[in-house]
Amino acid sequence: MPAVSKNYIHTNQKLSRQPLGKTVQNAGSVALRLGFLQCTIGPMTTTPLSDGPEQTPLTAATVMRYHLCWKHRDLDGVMALYHPDIQYHDFFQNRVLGFTQLRDYVRASLPHEAGEDIVHSDRIRVDGCTAFIQYQVTVQGGDGLVAFQSSEAITVRDGLIWRINEYATLVRGDAKGSPAGGPRPATSRLGLSPRQLSTMAQDLEHYFQAQRPYLDPELDLQQVADESGYSRNQISYLLNQVLGQSFYRYVNQARLQHLLSRLDNSCAAAPVDDLAFNAGFNSLSAFYKCFREHTGLSPKAYLKQISLRART
């Protein structure tokens, strides 16, 4: 257990050099103060919580165990650290979960692999019975990485986690570097937290790599939803609002990658149009547009480059 000094502990995680956005910083500041208030008076309770300096190392130890259980994907370990009267406020989804709802929530949110796409952007800060965590959840988007800046204010009571206030905001730059904007659907109806969106993006990528559904020229959103286990609305939200691309653009990019791998593996002698149809494109105009957007070249010019490289 790292030593506690100046009311914070180190997590031994790789720290991001990028500062959190103002939205999360402000939310985090409010969350920490709110958490402090909760542990002093507590809603619906007449028993004040211990919040003196002697409580800081106890809170730090509980939150560190909680952090490590998430890191190692220990579902039972996470659940064992929740107080029976816990209230988990997920402000990204605008919902509050109790103990009986949290097991499915945590199971869906745990990363599939250790350390997967979650980077702590600050040390864990602890004051009395409240701890504050800031982290980034990243997803590979159509034009680069997409990040959720997230923070949690955690209140500990009787050695267990009694309250969590979680805030998150989507930070995505377009081609000009401006942040993502525009309306988004009610995420409470979609049932997806930032961590769940990250897991969903990886599930979708693995499904496309392993099953190669894009080879079917008639592939549609409903088929992907049926096969992946996610709803149409969840997939649409992930692609449109998070990754910044339509379903058909996502599918055509997978088809193009399939075709390019064939061209680069000494298959350039085959007619490109035939390769396009074999990769799942059902329109040559869509294929040529996608090809030029991705490579900056026409198929003919691209094949010429391959031929020149083979001769050198």
Give residue limits of the domains in the chain: 8-183, 199-311
Global model pTM greater than 0.75: no
State phi, psi for 37 to the nearest 5 degrees.
-65, -40
Give the per-residue pLDDT at 2. 40
Ordered DSSP codes for 102-114: HHHHHHHHS-SST
Give the per-residue pLDDT at 189. 55
- Within 72-136, where are the H helices? 75-80, 99-109
Across the strands, what pairs with 146? Answer: 139
CATH code: domain 199-311 is 1.10.10.60
Give the per-residue pLDDT at 10. 43
Let me know if 191 is exposed, middle or buried by CB neighbors in 10 A (0-12, 13-18, 19+): middle
148 SS3 class: strand
Tell me if 196 sits within 8 A of 110, measured CB to CB. no
Give the per-residue pLDDT at 116. 53
State phi, psi for 81 to the nearest 5 degrees.
-95, 0
Give the per-residue pLDDT at 126. 95
Provide block-wise average pLDDT over 10 residues at a time, the chain (312 residues). Answer: 41 39 44 46 58 90 92 92 96 90 88 62 90 82 69 95 91 50 50 77 89 95 92 89 88 93 68 91 93 90 79 68
Identical fold, 8-183 and 199-311: no
Give the per-residue pLDDT at 141. 57
Give the per-residue pLDDT at 11. 42
Question: In Å, how far from its chain's centre is CA 55?
Answer: 32
Give the per-residue pLDDT at 144. 59
Q: How far apart are CA 73 and CA 99, in angstroms?
A: 18
Give the per-residue pLDDT at 95. 87
Give the per-residue pLDDT at 303. 84
Domain 8-183: which CATH number of 3.40.50.300, 1.10.4080.10, 3.10.450.50, 2.40.128.20: 3.10.450.50
Give the per-residue pLDDT at 20. 38
Give the per-residue pLDDT at 15. 35
Question: In Å, how far from its chain's centre is CA 280?
Answer: 29
| Long-range CB contacts (within 8 A, 24+) of 202-209 | 202/112, 202/116, 202/117, 203/112, 203/228, 203/229, 203/230, 204/228, 204/230, 204/235, 204/238, 205/140, 208/254
Residues 143-193 pLDDT 10s: 556 778 889 999 999 999 999 999 988 776 544 444 444 444 445 456 677
